[in-house]
Structure formats: C-alpha cells, structure tokens
Amino acid sequence: MSRDHARPLVRAESIAKIYHGKGGTTAVFEDLWFSVHEGEFVCLIGHSGCGKTTILNILAGLDRSDAGTVLAGGTEIDGPSLDRAVIFQSHALLPWLTVLGNIAFAVRSRRPGWRRDKVLDHCRQFIDLVGLNGAEDKKPAQLSGGMRQRVGIARALAIEPKMLLMDEPFSALDALTRGMLQEEVLRICRETHQTVFMITHDIDEAILLADRIILMSNGPGAVIAEIVENPLPRDRTRHDVHHHPLYYATRNHLLDFLVNRSRDLAGTRHIDPRHPPVVRPASDWPAPVQSIPARALGNRTAG
Amino acid sequence: MAALSLGVRAAIASFVILAVFLAFWHLGTQGTGPGAAMDPEYAKLMGVTAVTGQSAMPGPGQVGIKLWEHLINPFYDNGPNDKGIGIQLAYSLARVLAGYALAVAVALPLGFAIGMSPLIYRALDPFIQVLRPISPLAWMPLALYTIKDSGLSAIFVIFICSVWPMLLNTAFGVATVRREWLNVARTLEVGRFRLAFAVILPAAAPTIMTGMRISISIAWLVIVAAEMLVGGTGIGYFVWNEWNNLSITNVIIAILAIGMVGMALDQTLGRIARLVTYPE
C-alpha cells in the first residue's frame, strides 16, 4: 500500500537526542527520519533505552530535539499544541478532579468560549465513547487502572486533536484489560479516522493496531532499522487476527527483530537514515525459526 | 464480656489516666496539718503555709472552683489589671490571627514565586536560611523601636514566626508538583494564570496546608511569650500578672486555656487540610 499520495501530518527530519556526560557525548538516537500520514496508525517498537519516550515527547513538543526538526502540517514544532493530544503511560489524571472534571479541564482549554453546559455535554459524549457512563463523578483514585486509562483516552479525544500520541498506554494494565482497551482504541480510531502515533514494546499490540510499525535498533546510537507495513487487513479484530495466514509471518518477523537483529544493528551505519528499508511480510516466507539475516528478507522496497 | 471498640477502650484509658493524675495532685497538695508549735509572732511572719501545713500549690478542687468562676463570667472587665480570661484570650487570638493573616498574604505568593522560579529560589535562599532560625522574640526590641506600638509589635512578632513554615512548605509544594500534571497542562496549552490556580495550587494544597498548620501552632506558642514582654492585655500578660499576684490557681487555669485554644486552632486547620487532600 503506497502512501505517497497522502500528505504527512507530522514529519520528523533528522531528529536526535544527545547527552553530554563526563566521558564525552552520547547519542541516545540520531538522524531519525519518519513521517505519520493522516488517518494512519503508526507504532514504534524498540527496547527500553532506545529513546522511544523521548521521541514521543519531541513530537508532543514537551522535549526538544538536539538536531533536525519536526514538521507538523508544514510548520516546525516549537512547543506543545492542542493539535497533538498525548495519552500518558501513567494516565496523568488530576487526582483532585472527578472524571468529568478531568475531561472538562481539557475541553475548556480547547474551547475557552464554550458555555458550561456545552462543555459538559461534549464531555459526556466522550465519556460515552469510552464506556465510562456512571463513573462521571468518581475521582481517579476510585477507579481501576483500566478505567483511569479510559479517562485518559477520553480526555485526549475530547479536544479533537489532529493527532493522538500514545506512550505505552496499556503497559501498566493486566492482560485482560489491555486486550479490551486495545479493541476500544481500534474501534474508536476506525470510527473517527484518528491519526495515531503509539509507542509500545508489545508485538501483538502493534500487529493489531498499527498500519505501519517502525522498528528501532537498540540504544545508544539507536536508528530506525526498518519499517514494517502491516499486511493484515484493516478490519482485523483481536479475535480473528491470529487466524490470518500472514499473522505468524509478521509476528515472527517482529519477534526476530526484537530478539536478535535490534541488538546486532545497534549503532549501525549500513542503513540510509532517510530511507530505512520498508518491509511487507509475505506468506511465502520461510518460517523464521532461527534468526534470518536482514538481507535475506524479501519484498524490500526503497521508501 | 462483649468486646468494646477501640475508641471506647481508649476513652476509658484516658479517663483512668486523668483520674489517677487528679488523685495524685489532690494527695500531693493536701495539708500536713499544723507544724511544730512555734512562737505566734514567728508564725505570723511565716504565713499560712507554715502554720497549717497547707501547700501554696492549689489542689484540683480549688482550681475547679476557680475555673467555674471564670467559666460563668469570662468577659468581665474591672479595669486594666482585672479582666476576664475570655477577654484576655480574645486579645491574644486577635493578635495571632492578624499576624497570621499577614504571614499568609506574604508567604503564599512569595512561596509560589520561589517554587516556580529556580532563580528566585537561589537568590532568596541565603536570606531565608539566616532569618529563619532567629527566635521571633529577638525581633521584639527592633519592632518596638521602629513600630513604636507594643500591640503592633506583638503582631509583627507573630508574623515573623509564622511566615517561615508557610513560605518553605509552599515553595516545596509548588516545586514538587508532579511533572506529568505539568506536562498535561502544557499539552493542553494552559495559560500561566490557569496553570497556577487550576493545577499547581490544588496539587500543592496539602503541602501548603501542612505549613499553615505548623505556623498556627508556632504563632500560638509565641504569642504567650510576646505578651509577657509587651504587657497590657492578652493571655500571656494574664499569666505573668497572676504570677506577680502569686495566684498559682489562675496560672494553672490560664495554662489549661492556652492548651485548649491551641488544640482548637490546630484542629480547625487540620479539618481544612483534610478538605484539600486528594488520594492518589
């Protein structure tokens, strides 16, 4: 699936994060180029320490890149914006406000001119969307982890952002809750055609949710090693995704990357940073029982 | 026997401790009876204590009777040196609340500025470190000389002693607001004013209230000493005046009253603190 016709909503150009320590400078990651197109769901996978959260914070405008730029709709990002809502790993709800209060806080920021009842109506619509009816007047401390993250999702969606940035939003949840929330996110994104950039280390989550999966090599000196296009159809669900003939080929490819190749590629200079290899797993691949050398992978196209 | 709740058992224990204390007090202040026969003229010189064996320290009964007199008529005013204990407490409370209110008005905005700006924090830190450990009463001569009014000087002393805990706690509370809450506000493009009042203030409120609670306790401790110095009115002056009258009974009653009012002040602020505390 070529996305050349879609205009990139956000484009990172040669971004880097460099730490100046006693023993010289260390680049956590450097020379990263990637874009997220409108209506696309992009996941970024990598081991901890490759700077995933920093990349998300740079896109959000909460952190600055030490090199290059990030363009959002053609203009450079120089700070946080209501156009890019963040769903934090730790949900980051304000504990002294109720569920409704937390969402209303965000809505009032977006629509300062709205009257009180209009704000509350708008909030209730999004409480409804994430299935939190009846919990409007509860404080975050009274909610379970999954419900808190639902509030976080509702708060982010309620400001109707151009783009949603999710920082491992489900990693602190138990497997059952995580699965339910993944399905909710999938449904909501389909209904609203929301553009999403999500950080994760969960391969199954990436296969279920993402259209494209950006693979990072290990840090320091992390680079984008590969971009995997999800070959599974967009109407996949959590219940049938693993029955798809390409599911295991994709999963094994990603797993193999995380287990073996991400380490081998750390600090590599053999990848063109502007055009990392784009891979689309195919059914005729040999089952990757052992590590497959990168050059043996088929269907490679220059991005 | 049915098991009593912890609260009931604790209340019984408290009551027993009080009863034991009163019993010892009573026994300790009992007269030993007339001492050895002495020359009547010498006995006159020695006073009633020596003659009857009666201790100058009043017993719980005497204090109780006197306390009842104060309680049924707390606001009498028979001139400058004979006012009811209620009037004296009201004078002290008014001074404490005036000085405390001034301290709140200074400490909260300044604490906010210190907590939000590392520059202001570093610039003011040496002054705070030097001024904070000074006993508030050491300011008294300076205050009397510059303000030239003993009542206002007492209020100034209350101000200077209650400003530090509030200032430091506010600064600490503001500086340690969770990063993620600030990040939420930043991604929502919340303005500075709204950030301060809708995010930082509620987030730091429990810490600020802790400082305010420490401050009111210190202010109430200091007012007694300050009023002993400046004289005229107030519970501190009352204590010193009754000491000069050698009325130990009234001194004990004043001590009891100081404790009760101090507890009430602390409980009031504790209740407000619970209102602004949020569970995480």
Asked whether the predicted pLDDT for residue A161 surpasses 90, the reply is yes
List, in order, residues 6 or more apart from A270 with CB less than 8 Å away.
Answer: none
Selected residue of B181, B184, B186 to mutate for chain A interface (largest A Cβ count, 10 A): B184
List, in order, residues 6 or more apart from B103 with CB less than 8 Å away.
Answer: B158, B159, B162, B163, B166, B215, B219
* Cβ–Cβ gap A159/B278 under 8 Å: no
CA distance A282 to chain B (A): 40
DSSP β-ladder status, A75-76 and A278-279: unpaired
Q: Give the closest of A86, A94, A95 to B187, CB-based.
A: A86
pLDDT at B48: 61
Q: Where are the alpha helices (DSSP H) in chain A?
A: 52-60, 99-110, 116-129, 145-158, 175-192, 203-209, 247-256, 262-264
**Phi, psi for A227 (deg, rounded to 5):** -120, 125
Q: What is the pLDDT of residues B35-84, one digit of tens each?
A: 566 677 777 776 666 666 666 788 898 899 999 999 988 888 888 778 88
Which residue type sits at B186?
R
Contact of B127 with chain A, judged by CB distance below 8 Å, is answered with: no
Please enumerate residues of A whose Cβ is less than 8 A from a Cβ of B.
Answer: 60-62, 79-82, 84-86, 88, 90, 92, 94-96, 105-106, 109-110, 139, 141, 159
Alpha-carbon distance of A238 to A205, in angstroms, equals: 9
Selected residue of A53, A59, A94 to mutate for chain B interface (largest B Cβ count, 10 A): A94
Contact of B190 with chain A, judged by CB distance below 8 Å, is answered with: yes
% of chain B exceeding 90 in pLDDT = 76
**Chain B residues within an 8 Å CB radius of A164:** none
Q: What is the pLDDT of residues B159-180, one digit of tens each?
A: 999 999 999 999 999 999 999 9
Selected residue of A63, A83, A96, A167 to mutate for chain B interface (largest B Cβ count, 10 A): A96
Q: Which CATH number describes the domain made up of A1-83+164-181+194-303?
A: 3.40.50.300
CB-CB contact of B107 with B170 (8 Å): yes
* Cβ–Cβ gap B184/A88 under 8 Å: yes
- Residue range B179-200: mean pLDDT, rounded: 94
Alpha-carbon distance of B128 to B168, in angstroms, equals: 9
Could you tell me the sign of the dihedral formed by the alpha carbons of B15, B16, B19, B24, in that order?
negative
Asked whether the predicted pLDDT for residue B146 surpasses 70, the reply is yes
Q: Where are the alpha helices (DSSP H) in chain B?
A: 6-28, 40-46, 48-52, 60-72, 85-116, 118-131, 140-147, 150-175, 179-187, 192-194, 201-230, 235-244, 248-276
Q: What is the pLDDT of residues A172-192, one digit of tens each?
A: 888 888 998 999 899 988 888
Tokens 């809505």 found at: A107
What is the band of A292 on the pLDDT scale with cuts at 50, 70, 90?
Answer: very low
* Cβ–Cβ gap B202/A80 under 8 Å: no
> Residue A166 in 3-state DSSP?
strand
CB-CB contact of A225 with A261 (8 Å): yes
Contact of B199 with chain A, judged by CB distance below 8 Å, is answered with: yes
Contact of B203 with chain A, judged by CB distance below 8 Å, is answered with: yes
Alpha-carbon distance of A107 to A121, in angstroms, equals: 11
* Cβ–Cβ gap A95/B199 under 8 Å: no
Give the number of C-alpha atoms closer than 13 A to the C-alpha of residue A171, restricted to the C-beta side: 17
Q: Where does chain A hold its CATH 3.40.50.300 domain(s)?
A: 1-83+164-181+194-303
**Chain B residues within an 8 Å CB radius of A106:** 188
Under CATH, which architecture does the B85-276 domain have? Orthogonal Bundle (1.10)
* Cβ–Cβ gap A109/B180 under 8 Å: no
Q: What is the pLDDT of residues A65-118, one digit of tens each?
A: 999 999 998 889 989 999 999 999 888 999 999 999 999 999 999 999 999 999
pLDDT at B76: 87
Asked whether the predicted pLDDT for residue B271 surpasses 70, the reply is yes
Contact of B195 with chain A, judged by CB distance below 8 Å, is answered with: no
How far CA B6 is from CA of A175, A296, B3, B52, B142, in Å, comes to 42, 74, 9, 47, 52
Selected residue of B180, B188, B207 to mutate for chain A interface (largest A Cβ count, 10 A): B188
Output Rg (C-alpha) for chain B, integer angstroms: 25
Q: What is the pLDDT of residues B202-250, one digit of tens each?
A: 999 999 999 999 999 999 999 999 999 988 899 999 999 999 988 899 9
CB-CB contact of A141 with A71 (8 Å): no
| Residues 205 through 244 of chain B touching chain A, CB cutoff 8 Å | 205
* Cβ–Cβ gap B203/A81 under 8 Å: no
Output Rg (C-alpha) for chain A, integer angstroms: 20
**Chain B residues within an 8 Å CB radius of A96:** 202-203, 205, 276, 278
**Phi, psi for B277 (deg, rounded to 5):** -80, 140
CA distance A106 to chain B (A): 6
